[in-house]
Amino acid sequence: MAKGRLYFDHNATAPLLTVAQTAMIDAMQLPGNPSSVHAEGRKARVVVTNARESVARLCNVPAAHVTFCSGATEAANHVLTPDYRMGRSPVRVSRLLVSAVEHPAFLAGGRFPADHISVLAVDAEGRLDLEGLAKALATHDQSSGQAMLGLQLANNETGVIQPFLEAAEIVKAHHGLMVVDAVQAAGRLPLALDALGADFLILSGHKIGGPKGIGALVSAGETLMPAPLLRGGGQEKGHRGGTENLICIAGFGAAAEAAREALGDVDCIAVLRDRMEAGLRDLAPDVILHGVTVDRLANTSFFSLPGLKAETAQIAFDMEGVAVSAGAACSSGKIGLSHVLEAMGADADLGAIRISLGREHTENDIERFLEAFKAINTRRIARMAAAVAA
C-alpha cells in the first residue's frame, strides 16, 4: 500500500497481521506433510492442531468441530448440500432458505438444485422477514426432508446484524437446520456457536487479518455432518480431502487469536465510524446512510450520494488516496447493481460506497477521509448545479 494512502476496505480483506505473517514464515520452514508419521510430519501436525484450537476458541467449540478448507466460499459449498449423515445414517435436506441480501456464495445455493432454493424477503434495513421465514418453514413438506436456513450474522455491504436468535428459534421449532455466515462478524461480534443457536458456522481467514485462501466450516457437533465436497486421502477426518495448507492454516490460527482480542476495540472503532458519518452529514446533508436505524457492525458504513454513481465515487476516492468499495468485492473486481440495496427497496441504480474500518485507524484518518470526501462532494454539487442550469 502506497505511503499516505488510507485503506478503508477491511470488509473486502483485512491487511495481513504481523502475528499471522510471522506464523506463516515459521510454518514455511517445516518440510513435513502434516499427515506423515515421522518427526518432520509431526511438527507440521502440531501447527495444524494449534491453529485448529485457536479457531475453535474463537467460536467456543471443541477443536474437533473445526474443518479447514480453502475459504468461506468452499465452506458454503460444503455445508449447503441436501446430503447429510447422522453417524452412518443418511439425512436428507430438501429445502434451502436464504435471505435476499446474502453473499453470492449462499444465494447460489451450494449443491442444492435451483428449484430447491427459496429466497426470503428482508425489510427496508435489510433484516430477514421473520414472519416470512416462519411461513416458509410451516408450509415445508418435512416428509421430503429437513429445511435449512442459511443466514449472514452481519451483512458484508451494510454491516446490518440479522435477528439470528429469533431466526434460530423459529428454525428449531420447525426441526430445521441453520447455517450462519460469520465471515464479517468474526472479531467484531461474539461468535459462541451454541449461543447463536446454529448448527454450522463458516469463517474466512483473510477477513480477520489472516492470509487469503483459507477458511473453516465449524460444526456444533461431530455426529451430523454434510457429505464431503472434496474427497481424497481422508484429511480433516474425511470431511475435506487434500493435503492441509500448512502455511495458511498457521496464519489463520494466529489471526483467530487476534480476532478474539479485537472484540475489546469494537467501541473505539464505532466512535470513529460515527464521527465519520456525522462529517458526511455535515458536508452533504442529502447523503443517504443505509442501515443506521438498526444494529450493525461497528466498523461499517454504507452510503449513497444523489447524483453520483457509486463506481464513479469509488474511482474519485481512489484518486484522492482512499481505498473504499462500491458494494462487495466478491466478483473479480466487477462492479454491478447491489442486490442488497435492491432487496432493501433502495436505489440500486445509484449504488453505494462502503467504508469498513480496522483497528489501526485513528481520528486523523477520519479527518483525512472527510477532506477527500469534501473535494469529491464539491465537484458533485457543481455538476448537479450545471445540469440544472442546462
Residue 287 CB contacts under 8 Å (≥ 6 apart), including other chains: 280, 281, 303, 304, 305
330 is catalytic: yes
Q: Classify 382 as helix, strand or coil.
A: helix
Question: Looking at the chain, how many residues does it have?
Answer: 390
DSSP 3-state helix, strand, coil percentages of the chain (rounded to 5)? 40, 20, 40
Q: Classify 330 as helix, strand or coil.
A: coil
Beta bridge partners of 355: 301
Residue 281 identity: R
Residue among 164, 161, 245 nearest 206 (CA): 245
Residue 235 CB contacts under 8 Å (≥ 6 apart), including other chains: 34, 35, 241, 242, 243, 244
Residue 117 CB contacts under 8 Å (≥ 6 apart), including other chains: 95, 96, 98, 109
Residue 294 CB contacts under 8 Å (≥ 6 apart), including other chains: 125, 127, 160, 161
Q: Classify 127 as helix, strand or coil.
A: coil
CA distances from 359 to 134, 231, 258, 299, 326 (A): 38, 39, 11, 9, 22
Residue 297 CB contacts under 8 Å (≥ 6 apart), including other chains: 154, 159, 161, 184, 185, 188, 189
Residue among 208, 238, 234, 210 nearest 226 (CA): 238
Per-position b or e across 145-154, b if 16+ CB within 10 A of its CB: bbbbbbbbbb
Residue entry with cell 505511503: 3
Q: Classify 22 as helix, strand or coil.
A: helix
The one catalytic residue among 59, 69, 268, 330: 330
Strand ranges in 136-183 using DSSP code E only, listed in sequence order = 146-152, 177-181
Active site (catalytic) residues: 330
